[in-house]
């Protein structure tokens, strides 16, 4: 099979676009998909400072690379969770990328070390507060990522969620009719109030398989193993189901998720009203000042509980 663009020998087939590309044209295709996502969802401009959450996996490192290649000012933010060999290997991948591609392109890598800043690794913290590891991890990562973006005056926070992630999340939200989540699921979440940075997902037009291929084609080394704490059995099941549908009928995932975005766009006027209502419920956390709907934000509650457990 030949490349749809330049007619030389193709290296990868993209059935959902009825296309095949050689390595160079595939890289251009990926860059073009991200550029279209940034433009159509008004994510950011060339003067904005972007903070990219990097985990060492294929999606986040591909995202950082693509943004730098497209000429954006993108820095990295890595959270060292203190999960033994997994954290060591993922940190190595992030550092290696930063040293060879990020820093030479003018980018900076920020690192937050949970053992040092929160006083214990993520597993120990979760045990202390009697909560599942992933929910403790999510609270800390969301809080510290937002805090780093706000304190260091970034215009926007970017994460590496891809089409498979977003389609699986949408399927879960639809199956359980989580209307609140459905209203807020999208590639751009505006900065709601002072203290909450804007959040974007520039990879929502690309699949997991395409991002893995992009890393291979562009010599980006990434950590292949999943976090050992990952229990997302349900998300994996949704991804499997969607992959089966995709094999039978290429394009299903994108019709499903992009179709949802199209409908959401039409509803935008009313959802903006909803966002305003949500904002009215927010006020500063009594401990740290970050916006929250409760008296104290979930991060401060978690840390207060951990301290009580240690001292009591």
Long-range (24+ apart) CB contacts under 8 A made by 178-183 are: 183/271, 183/274
Shortest reach from residue 289's CB to Zn ion, in Å: 7
Binding status of residue 288 toward ligand Q46 by CB under 6 A: no
Tell me whether residue 179 or residue 295 sits nearer to Zn ion (CB atom). Answer: 295
Q: Please name the residues in contact with 117: beta carbons below 8 A apart, sequence gap of 6 or more.
A: 144
Site for ligand Q46 in 129-148 (CB under 6 A): 133-134, 137-138
Interface pattern 207-246 for ligand Q46 (x via CB under 6 A): --------------------x-xx----------------
Contact of residue 133 among ligand Q46, Zn ion, none (CB under 5-8 Å per partner type): ligand Q46
Tell me whether residue 114 or residue 211 sits nearer to Zn ion (CB atom). Answer: 114
Contact of residue 129 among Zn ion, ligand Q46, none (CB under 5-8 Å per partner type): none
DSSP per-residue codes, 107-137: --EEEEEHHHHTSS-HHHHHHHHTS-HHHHH
Spell 130-154 as b/e; 16+ CB within 10 A means b: eeebeebbebbbebbbbbbbbeeeb
Site for ligand Q46 in 94-123 (CB under 6 A): 122
Contact of residue 227 among Zn ion, ligand Q46, none (CB under 5-8 Å per partner type): ligand Q46
Contact of residue 297 among Zn ion, ligand Q46, none (CB under 5-8 Å per partner type): Zn ion
Distance from C-alpha of 311 to C-alpha of 103, rounded to nearest angstrom: 42
Largest CA distance in the chain: 70
The end-to-end CA distance of the chain, in Å, is 68
Shortest reach from residue 24's CB to ligand Q46, in Å: 32
Q: Please name the residues in contact with 278: beta carbons below 8 A apart, sequence gap of 6 or more.
A: 192
DSSP per-residue codes, 264-283: HHHTHHHHHHHHHHHHHT-E
Shortest reach from residue 53's CB to Zn ion, in Å: 20
Shortest reach from residue 53's CB to ligand Q46, in Å: 10
Q: Total residues at the site for ligand Q46 (CB under 6 A)? A: 8
CB neighbour class for 11 (10 Å; exposed up to 12, middle 13-18, buried from 19)? middle
Shortest reach from residue 201's CB to Zn ion, in Å: 25
Tell me whether residue 194 or residue 225 sits nearer to ligand Q46 (CB atom). Answer: 225
User: Where do contacts with ligand Q46 occur on this chain (CB under 6 A)?
Assistant: 122, 133-134, 137-138, 227, 229-230
């Amino acid at each position: 099979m030949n490349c749809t663009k330049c007619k030389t020998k193709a290296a990868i087939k993209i059935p959902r676009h009825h296309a095949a590309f050689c390595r160079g044209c595939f890289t251009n295709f990926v860059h073009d998909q991200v550029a279209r996502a940034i433009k159509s969802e008004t994510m950011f401009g060339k003067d904005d400072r972007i903070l990219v959450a990097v985990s060492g996996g294929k999606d986040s490192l591909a995202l950082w690379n693509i943004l730098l290649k497209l000429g954006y000012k993108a820095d990295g933010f890595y959270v060292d969770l203190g999960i033994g060999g997994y954290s060591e290997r993922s940190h190595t991948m992030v550092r290696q990328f930063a040293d060879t591609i990020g820093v030479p392109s003018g980018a900076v890598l920020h690192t937050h070390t949970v053992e040092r800043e929160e006083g214990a690794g993520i597993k120990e913290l979760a045990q202390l507060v009697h909560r599942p590891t992933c929910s403790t991890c999510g609270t800390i990562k969301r809080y510290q990522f937002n805090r780093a973006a706000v304190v260091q005056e970034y215009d926007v926070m970017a994460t590496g969620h891809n089409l498979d992630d977003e389609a699986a999340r949408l399927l879960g939200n639809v199956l359980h009719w989580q209307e609140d989540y459905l209203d807020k699921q999208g590639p751009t979440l505006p900065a709601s109030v002072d203290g909450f940075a804007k959040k974007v997902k520039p990879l929502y037009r690309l699949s997991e398989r395409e991002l893995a291929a992009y890393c291979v084609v562009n010599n980006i080394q990434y950590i292949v193993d999943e976090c050992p704490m990952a229990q997302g059995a349900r998300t994996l099941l949704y991804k499997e189901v969607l992959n089966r549908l995709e094999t039978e009928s290429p394009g299903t995932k994108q019709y499903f998720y992009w179709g949802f975005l199209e409908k959401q766009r039409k509803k935008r006027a009313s959802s903006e009203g909803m966002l305003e209502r949500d904002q009215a419920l927010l006020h500063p956390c009594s401990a740290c000042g970050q916006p929250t709907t409760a008296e104290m934000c979930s991060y401060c509650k978690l840390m207060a509980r951990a301290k009580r457990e240690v001292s009591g």
